Amino acid sequence: MLIIDAHLDLAWNALQWNRDLTESVYTIRGKERGSPGKGRAQNTVALPEMRLGRIALSFATLLARSTGHIADHIDFGSQAQAYGIAQGQLAYYLGLEADGYVRIIDDSRSLRQHMDEWQRWELDGAAVSATPPLGFVISMEGADPIRDPAQLEAWREAGLRLLGPTHYGPGRYAGGSGTELGLTDLGAPLLREMTRLGILLDLTHFSDEAFWEAVDIYDGPVLASHNNCRALVPHQRQFSDEQLKLIFERDGVIGAAFDIWMLQPGFTTGDSNEGVFIERVVDHIDHICQLAGNCRHAAIGTDLDGGFGREQSPCDLDTIADLQRLPAMLASRGYSASDIKDIMIGNWLRVLYAAWDG
């Protein structure tokens, strides 16, 4: 089955982690063997495994914070540095496109053509021909690289189509995960400019305060690219049922994330992942579907390359290609073939077409 993964930090891994993603997961692991640092030699995502897993489309991020709390390779000392890093990540995606590995998707026409090609390949050519290029929709995780709301239009012209205004900590535009901060003075003008330009709002990583302030201002399409359910894992990083229902009311979609600490209550870095299986992801998908009373709002947003690897992924997942195990797990819980297709691909397509056709 074709799959859409709504959150992969591919450029961050390629540039800030210095990984050649055109090589296989196993080659990258071999090169990193013995290297210090979390997630080294444990990666699960690279372009060959994405093709093997039929990840026809993904939301590929630009990620560079400037929160005032410097951290190597992710949180920079100035806004100008964050801008430069994000511009370099965008250039990486353009380079992959120039080399024929990927195709950047930025409107309904290119999306329809891309998905038609993948569907034809799946029906007629999978046994005899190479996969088409992978499709990337450019997203930004944390708006710190955007100098001010007026600069957003230039980012859109460069290809940006989805934006999550904050990440971890006190972002320049809004309070993020781990804070109780609302929107900053720049936040409301950014949201209004997003509405004007038709850039989709990714609510992931908003603090509770910023979440409710943002949805009062932004009246366009909303989504949560990689988020799980607070009812199952009680932590501020997850969304409450009340927040999930707001996304349902806006006909938005929530992508289930695979990070163990978002699946296993009480998990901390260094704990064993033994006993935490992909089925835990299905628990969150099922909670969303049961809460909504339908399957229109659940999807996939793995975040499998979000600064960790196998050590912080479900223990029965080796690479991103193992997403192909999800349809059978959903079927075993009584989900119909059409509902499974919506969860794996259809719901994200609906959101994109609704935003771009409108």
Give the model's confidence band at 228: pLDDT under 50 very low, under 70 low, under 90 confident, else very high: very high
So what's the pLDDT on residue 129? Answer: 81
So what's the pLDDT on residue 126? Answer: 76
Length of the chain equals 358
Name the DSSP letter for residue 261.
G
So what's the pLDDT on residue 160? Answer: 98
Q: String of b and e for 165-200 (b: at least 16 CB within 10 Å)?
A: bbbbbbbbbbbbbebebbbbebbbbbbebbeebebb
Render pLDDT for 289-307 as a digit per residue (tens, 0 to 9): 999 999 999 999 999 999 9
- What's the rounded Cα separation, in Å, for the pair 219 and 26? 44
Give me the domains of the chain, ranges plus CATH numbers: 3-357 (3.20.20.140)
Q: ∠ CA 225-163-246 to the nearest 5 degrees?
A: 55
Which residue type, as a one-letter code, is found at position 52? L
What's the whole-model pTM score? 0.98
What are the beta bridge partners of residue 15? none
In this predicted structure, which of 18-22, 122-126, 141-145, 281-285 has the lowest mean pLDDT? 122-126
Spatial CA neighbour of 197 closest among 164, 154, 153 = 153
What are the beta bridge partners of residue 134? 102
Q: ∠ CA 236-242-243 to the nearest 5 degrees?
A: 60
Q: How many CB atoms neighbour CB 121 within 10 A?
A: 18
Render pLDDT for 156-172 as a digit per residue (tens, 0 to 9): 999 999 999 999 999 99
Kindly state the tokens that stand for 100: 């024929």
Render pLDDT for 242-258 as a digit per residue (tens, 0 to 9): 999 999 999 999 999 99
So what's the pLDDT on residue 124? Answer: 87
